[in-house]
C-alpha cells in the first residue's frame, strides 16, 4: 500500500518535472502587452483625488514608509500637510487642475467643481467624521 502511494507520488513528480521542463523550453507564446501591465484602476489620493501613478506621488507615514492612501502634497510624516483645509477649499483648489487630471482640458470650472464634490465625498478624508455634514 505504502509502496504504491510512493510510486504514484513519484510518478506525479516526474510528470510535473517533465511538464515544467518542456514548458521552459518553449518560447513564450503569449504576446507581452505592455498596456495591460498598467493597472486599470489607478489609485487616487484619498484627500485630493490626485492619481497616484508613481512611487514618489505617495505621501509618507511617520516612520517614513509610503502612505497607502494619500499623496505627497496632502500627507507627509503621518500628518495632513494642511489639516485645517475644508472640503470646499479643496474643491476650489482642485478645480483648475481637474480637467487636466481627467484628460478633459475643456471642462468648465463649474462642471469640474460639481464632479470634484462628488468624488471627494467618497474619499476617506472627507467621509470620516460627521462634522462635515452636521
Ligand atoms: Zn492628495
For the stretch 71-111, pLDDT in tens is 999 999 999 999 999 999 999 999 999 998 889 999 999 99
Using an 8 Å Cβ cutoff, are 85 and 75 in contact? Answer: no
Centre of ligand 1 from the C-alpha of residue 71, in Å: 4
Centre of ligand 1 from the C-alpha of residue 35, in Å: 25
Cell of 74: 496632502
What does 84-106 look like in DSSP terms, one character per residue? Answer: T--HHHHHHHHHHHHHHHTT-TT
Cell of 115: 464632479
Centre of ligand 1 from the C-alpha of residue 9, in Å: 55
Centre of ligand 1 from the C-alpha of residue 129, in Å: 18
Centre of ligand 1 from the C-alpha of residue 29, in Å: 41
Centre of ligand 1 from the C-alpha of residue 91, in Å: 12
Centre of ligand 1 from the C-alpha of residue 81, in Å: 9
- pLDDT of residue 129 exceeding 90: no
Cell of 21: 521542463
User: Of the ranges 32-36, 42-46, 110-114, 126-130, which one carries the lowest mean pLDDT score?
Assistant: 32-36
Q: How confident is the model at residue 64 (pLDDT cuts 50, 70, 90)?
A: very high
Please report, rounded to a whole number, the percentage of residues in the chain having pLDDT higher than 70.
Answer: 65
Q: Look up the pTM and report it.
A: 0.63
- pLDDT of residue 38 exceeding 50: no
pLDDT at 2: 54
Cell of 88: 470646499
Centre of ligand 1 from the C-alpha of residue 20, in Å: 46
Amino acid at each position: 500500500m505504502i509502496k504504491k502511494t510512493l510510486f504514484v507520488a513519484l510518478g506525479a513528480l516526474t510528470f510535473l518535472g517533465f511538464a515544467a521542463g518542456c514548458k521552459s523550453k518553449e518560447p513564450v507564446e503569449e504576446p507581452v502587452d505592455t498596456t495591460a501591465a498598467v493597472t486599470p484602476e489607478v489609485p487616487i489620493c484619498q484627500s485630493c483625488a490626485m492619481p497616484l501613478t508613481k512611487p514618489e506621488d505617495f505621501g509618507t507615514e511617520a516612520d517614513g514608509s509610503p502612505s497607502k492612501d494619500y499623496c505627497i502634497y496632502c500627507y507627509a510624516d503621518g500628518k495632513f500637510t494642511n489639516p485645517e483645509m475644508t472640503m470646499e477649499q479643496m474643491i476650489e483648489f482642485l478645480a483648475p487642475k481637474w480637467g487636466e487630471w481627467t484628460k478633459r482640458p475643456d471642462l468648465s470650472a463649474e462642471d469640474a467643481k460639481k464632479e470634484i464634490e462628488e468624488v471627494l465625498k467618497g474619499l476617506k478624508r472627507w467621509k470620516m467624521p460627521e462634522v462635515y455634514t452636521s
